[in-house]
Structure 1
């Protein structure tokens, strides 16, 4: 082949290659335009399953797990990549009948002791595949159980004084001519009616604190004034029990809160301490500023609370010592109110107690630091005067379990 012929062949090959490359690139651009941008449908479905708040498990005809989401593992529907036996058995039935089936997937250890908390539905997908979707109703079940218990407890607590008043009234009518008997039964009627009134009042207060009504706006409140008023409310009961309540010196501390609610909470703690102390034993109140919060502690040297009861004394109507509570005339709502007052102020209530030694209830409320900064560690009163906080005490080992939040659940009630 001559040189001109070779050159012509090379140029021809180059032209053919350029044209072919252009055509291939154009074809690819057309193909790309027809393909959707972003994730595929399969990828989107996988993301949907994984992000679902319900437990989702897809099973094949043999009951093997094809795909599942993290929520399914959290609900116990899948363990070690094996589906719950109840789900597999239901899936076999669904494959045979081609009809959806609802099943109970509640934890096995809880079955029979509470209503169904995890309810699943098994649906056919065709060709032997099934999907199991479960919804967790645990919160609703707990809320309903709490509501039923509350209604039952209220009914029982109201029934007792109402029944007593009815019986005592009959006794008064039968002894109408006996002045001494009328006076004796009349005193008992007065005590029962007072107890009934106190119970209704505290039920209303607890209802407001749990959200039935809008709480008052928080203002700057003097802690010393709260302590003085609470002492005034409990003076009669303390004197009757021959108990002296001592306090530390004025602190000048301020908090953000509602004065009436704070006085009620502190009064309940004081009444509790007096009711569960022996005659002549001391009860004390102390105030201090700790980590931008004000802590008001009520300490008694009474009978103390058993460790197994300490987490429950804040439940409504719970009484660690039922016989003594009846004798003192408590409603069982005092500590519930304290807990909710603290929570609604952004604070908490803590308890340390030892049987035979006594108890310390500590009400902690965020401090009002004021708009102007004085010296380090000081606050200013409403008049602008600098007020040093109570001396910061060294922290002892934390023996006081914290009570978390209030739910409904949650635990709420009292020992009064």
Structure 2
């Protein structure tokens, strides 16, 4: 239990007892005691307990539940008015030692939407009574797992190009008398060094975006300029596989944001579309204003993504086709960066995909506020397209 929560419950019990004694004393001195007006301390404490975000359970000396709030049932600490056996044993230990006991009350079996990790603190409340304060630690556990996975993935991803560089450097030394071999190995060294540099750059970018909080200072950014710059970045990769990236007409739309980050996000979507599309297939970019949001959609006719993988593609280092991603120099961080850029701008990235048909990634961002006459003219000029 948090210090404030325990203090509130303790003070509540003490005040209830004190006021109970006070009114009993008055009743012996007066035949007609005056009833308190409004909410009593007991009523207030009941509201505190019932409204607590933690699961609170008060047990008597026999381990029976004398008070609990709805949150305790949501966390699975209390079922059918009986406390979890682990909490009951912890309460007995508290009564025996008068020391705080921490206990793991996580569900032993996954049941629906029940929290994955529930931890509780059991304290002596007053003579014969103990309180169990349980909190949902599922998010913290998931974050810790994500952190461990991230460290493991980074270690693996960095080890691959570093190991390749060492082997290639050794090969260059062994072939020092063969100029053709030296040139061939040197080209591969440059390729691996470029890949390593890209990975480090994207890791730094992702670490800066990780908080998923809105950017503090936003300027009005032209969507048409973002698309134009992103197309310029992806032009060489698209031309190398004979892919033509088609776009709709300029819209004049504006979004509050950071132009560099938005260009990076859209470039990542375009690079993915090109990398996972057959040579010569079409890729398109479109923009529209809908419900106060600007939507920039990138559509390809590539391999598509199965339904069970569509949520995971935004995870760091996750790849739908690992062989193709490595062949094209992908780091597995591109879509994670897109997700965090969208979140930093108060938006989101959506995905529609069908295996064998293709995919559409949509970057959805809040539109910049415009003057009424501009909105009206924009609606008349682009009404059919938007």
TM-score by length of 2: 0.83
Superposed, which structure 2 residues align to 1:376-387 within 5 Å? 376=376, 378=378
Q: Residues 211, 96 of structure 1: CA spacing in aligned structure 2 closer, same or farther, 3 A cutoff?
A: closer
Question: How far, CA to CA, are the matches of 2:298 and 2:261 in structure 1?
Answer: 17
**Higher Rg:** 1
Q: Residues 96, 258 of structure 1: CA spacing in aligned structure 2 closer, same or farther, 3 A cutoff?
A: closer
Question: How far, CA to CA, are the matches of 1:218 and 1:296 in structure 2?
Answer: 19
**354-363 vs 205-214, which deviates more?**
205-214
1:229 and 2:234 correspond = no
Contact 1:63 / 1:91 at 8 angstroms: preserved in 2? Answer: yes
Which residue of structure 2 lines up, in the alignment, with residue 179 of structure 1?
A: 179
Question: How far, CA to CA, are the matches of 1:210 and 1:288 in structure 2?
Answer: 28
Which residue of structure 2 lines up, in the alignment, with residue 202 of structure 1?
A: 202
Which residue of structure 1 lines up, in the alignment, with residue 12 of structure 2?
A: none
Contact 1:289 / 1:391 at 8 angstroms: preserved in 2? Answer: no
Which residue of structure 2 lines up, in the alignment, with residue 11 of structure 1?
A: none
Question: How far, CA to CA, are the matches of 1:162 and 1:98 in structure 2?
Answer: 56
Deviation, 1:61, is 3.5
Contact 2:214 / 2:345 at 8 angstroms: preserved in 1? Answer: no
Q: Residues 214, 170 of structure 1: CA spacing in aligned structure 2 closer, same or farther, 3 A cutoff?
A: farther
Question: How far, CA to CA, are the matches of 1:267 and 1:99 in structure 2?
Answer: 58
Question: How far, CA to CA, are the matches of 2:383 and 2:188 in structure 1?
Answer: 45
Structure 1: gaps spanning 5 or more residues = 1-26, 380-386, 394-416
Deviation, 1:341, is 1.4
Q: Residues 187, 74 of structure 1: CA spacing in aligned structure 2 closer, same or farther, 3 A cutoff?
A: same
Question: How far, CA to CA, are the matches of 1:129 and 1:28 in structure 2?
Answer: 32
1:316 and 2:309 correspond = no
Deviation, 1:162, is 1.0
Question: How far, CA to CA, are the matches of 2:322 and 2:315 in structure 1?
Answer: 14
Q: Residues 146, 224 of structure 1: CA spacing in aligned structure 2 closer, same or farther, 3 A cutoff?
A: same
Q: Residues 237, 358 of structure 1: CA spacing in aligned structure 2 closer, same or farther, 3 A cutoff?
A: same
Deviation, 1:40, is 3.8
**175-184 vs 46-55, which deviates more?**
46-55
Task: For residue 72 of structure 1, give the secondary structure of its aligned residue in structure 2.
Answer: helix
Q: Residues 252, 207 of structure 1: CA spacing in aligned structure 2 closer, same or farther, 3 A cutoff?
A: same
Contact 1:277 / 1:300 at 8 angstroms: preserved in 2? Answer: yes
Superposed, which structure 2 residues align to 1:159-308 within 5 Å? 159-211=159-211, 215=215, 217-308=217-308
1:348 and 2:341 correspond = no
Contact 2:212 / 2:340 at 8 angstroms: preserved in 1? Answer: no
Which residue of structure 2 lines up, in the alignment, with residue 326 of structure 1?
A: 326
Deviation, 1:143, is 2.1
1:61 and 2:61 correspond = yes
Which residue of structure 2 lines up, in the alignment, with residue 133 of structure 1?
A: 133
Contact 1:209 / 1:215 at 8 angstroms: preserved in 2? Answer: no
Deviation, 1:213, is 11
Deviation, 1:101, is 2.9
Q: After superposition, what is the alpha-carbon deviation per residue over 1:192-240, rounded to whole angstroms, capped at 9, x for unaligned?
A: 0001111111112112222499947322222222211111111111111
Structure 2: gaps spanning 5 or more residues = 1-28
**249-258 vs 276-285, which deviates more?**
249-258
Q: After superposition, what is the alpha-carbon deviation per residue over 1:163-193, rounded to whole angstroms, capped at 9, x for unaligned?
A: 1111111111111111011111001101100
Deviation, 1:283, is 0.8
Q: CA RMSD in A?
A: 2.8
1:389 and 2:366 correspond = no
Q: After superposition, what is the alpha-carbon deviation per residue over 1:33-72, rounded to whole angstroms, capped at 9, x for unaligned?
A: xx97654443344333323333221123333211012221
Q: Residues 127, 372 of structure 1: CA spacing in aligned structure 2 closer, same or farther, 3 A cutoff?
A: closer
Task: For residue 297 of structure 1, give the secondary structure of its aligned residue in structure 2.
Answer: strand
**272-281 vs 44-53, which deviates more?**
44-53
**61-70 vs 182-191, which deviates more?**
61-70
Question: How far, CA to CA, are the matches of 1:377 and 1:308 in structure 2?
Answer: 43
TM-score by length of 1: 0.77
**267-276 vs 36-45, which deviates more?**
36-45
Task: For residue 305 of structure 1, give the secondary structure of its aligned residue in structure 2.
Answer: coil
Contact 1:276 / 1:303 at 8 angstroms: preserved in 2? Answer: yes
Question: How far, CA to CA, are the matches of 2:216 and 2:52 in structure 1?
Answer: 40
Q: Residues 212, 126 of structure 1: CA spacing in aligned structure 2 closer, same or farther, 3 A cutoff?
A: closer
Deviation, 1:90, is 3.1
Q: After superposition, what is the alpha-carbon deviation per residue over 1:387-412, rounded to whole angstroms, capped at 9, x for unaligned?
A: 8336346xxxxxxxxxxxxxxxxxxx
Question: How far, CA to CA, are the matches of 1:50 and 1:39 in structure 2?
Answer: 15
Contact 2:94 / 2:100 at 8 angstroms: preserved in 1? Answer: yes
Aligned residues: 354
